[in-house]
Amino acid sequence: MIYDNLLTLTAKAPITSGLRQGDTFTPYAALVERIGRLAAGFMERGIENGAPVALLIPNSPDLFVTAHALFAVGAVAMPLSETATRSERATLARRTGPAAVVSTPALATAAELLIADVAPGLPLFLTDALPEGSATARLPELPGATPALYLFSSGSTGSPKVVPHTHAELLADSGRASAAWDLQPDDIVLDMLPGNFAMGFLLGATQAVARGATTLYWSDPMPLALSRGKLLDTMVGEHVTFMGAVPAMYEIIAGQGGGSDLGLRLAFSGGAALKRPVFEAVRRRLGITLRQDYGSTEAGMFSHNDCPDPDSSWDSVGRPAGDARVRIAAFDTGFGPSVGEMEIRSSSLMRGYLDDAVADARAFDEGWFRTGDLASLDEEGRIFLRGRSKLLIEVSGYKIDPVEVEETLMSSPAVAEAAVAGLPDPRIGNRLIAFVVKEAEISADALIRFARERLSVQKVPAEITFVDALPRSPAGKVLRARLVEPQAG
């Protein structure tokens, strides 16, 4: 189904539209032809309808053609993080039972270790020697309910879960996103996010191509803080008009000195809450007003802030796009009755986690997906996120939002970053522990005194632990479940 749609889309796209990486440009017409041959080759090697295939491929044209070839035969693409540990990759792969692994030559050793850990004897295909069959081979006709993609929830508050998406869901997501962003064939879309991250995979593999826009994949072996100047030069040279990234990336990019004549018409931020200082820094540095979007691994792209006055609504993630719908369910918070847990529905929402009825029962409310986000709606139906219901920590009967405590701690000039977690305490329910990365010298006692002057007593951390860095996912999310692992008994 996705392959047939891709044929239709690319037949309309100009020859100037396609995929770029480095000095290489490949038009969509050539990509589709190769995808057809690869699909036939995979079928000849026994990759069948419903077979999960683990992908150790950075976000790139290689990931695009491999994933679409698997879509074409009804197999399930399962992108894994190339930066994950051996144990992390094996744990995720065991949940799905992959039928094969596809890897770049540079990651071949990691792929071989994955096979040894999960199922010795699995076939390994390298991207520089993928099997190709006849371009005229007959590919299966696939219904919309055919599974196409396995992603993994971020694991920021617990163990990652397998998130399946069907052909119909991916097509619905690409249509909604490309329409909300008004992508056009002359747009150059920058994709700098990891391919195992939902926003990175969908932007590069399905959303940009939905309207014939060109995708520019960008990566660099150096950390973004050291390569941001090169990135900005690339954006200018390649005439990038559209980009999406997480707030942490925008913050780093905006820290680059000098000036750049960027031609961006739209830049959106997603994956985490945008802070006002980052919003302002991006406007000063990049000359563009960031727009917030809301999406998730489970739902894909959900909402986009297209308010005519972006300053007054800078902290809104916009209104639901396309057929997406939102409702606010009552939830006991300290923000008043207008704030509750955001529940959503859309045609791209997953129908359930893979083989996890317990997680499904917690995640769905009569077909509505419980996002775990606390939110309110204004009179125009715009969504304003207020916190995370799944993060609320009960202390002496009070429900404490750790984000509020973190932001208070980070208002100290001595604090670069902070994350707050709760440790079970039989007397008060939980004891607040703050994990702090220092910006300047400060003692734990001094920081607790700082918090006491600004927070009610139940919100003040009982303990401060100084760390060199907070554990984060490749997309920049703090992995809160890891914060307390050393203290777990």
Three-class SS of 106-174: HHHHHHHHHHHHHCCCCCEEEHHHCCCCCCCCCCCCCCCCCEEEEEECCCCCCCCCEEEEEHHHHHHHH
What CA–CA distance (Å, rounded) separates 170 from 152? 15
What CA–CA distance (Å, rounded) separates 20 from 65? 13
Render pLDDT for 173-216 as a digit per residue (tens, 0 to 9): 999 999 999 999 999 999 999 999 999 999 999 999 999 999 99
Tell me how many degrees the CA angle 193-196-201 measures, rounded to the nearest 5.
60
- Report pLDDT for 425: 82
- To which H or E segment does residue 178 belong? helix 167-180
| Cα-Cα end-to-end distance for the chain | 49
Q: Between helices 86-94 and 108-118, what is the axis angle to 10°?
A: 50
Give the confidence band of 489 by pLDDT, cuts at 50, 70, 90: very low
What CA–CA distance (Å, rounded) separates 231 from 191? 11
- To which H or E segment does residue 12 belong? helix 2-12
Task: Indicate the pTM of the whole model.
Answer: 0.84
Render pLDDT for 365-415 as a digit per residue (tens, 0 to 9): 999 999 988 899 999 999 999 877 777 787 876 778 788 899 899 999 999
What CA–CA distance (Å, rounded) separates 124 from 32? 23
Give the confidence band of 169 by pLDDT, cuts at 50, 70, 90: very high
What CA–CA distance (Å, rounded) separates 441 from 458? 26
Render pLDDT for 118-142 as a digit per residue (tens, 0 to 9): 999 999 999 999 999 987 788 999 9
- To which H or E segment does residue 265 belong? none
Do the beta carbons of residue 357 and residue 363 sit within 8 Å?
Answer: no
Sort strands 188-191 and 242-245 into parallel, antiparallel or unpaired.
parallel
Which segments of 265-367 are extended strands (E)? 266-269, 291-296, 300-304, 316-320, 325-329, 340-345, 364-365
What CA–CA distance (Å, rounded) separates 312 from 314? 6
Do the beta carbons of residue 414 and residue 440 sit within 8 Å?
Answer: yes
- To which H or E segment does residue 488 belong? none
What CA–CA distance (Å, rounded) separates 197 from 324? 21
In order of 156, 412, 435, 469, 478, the CA distances from 415 in angstroms are: 22, 6, 10, 12, 16
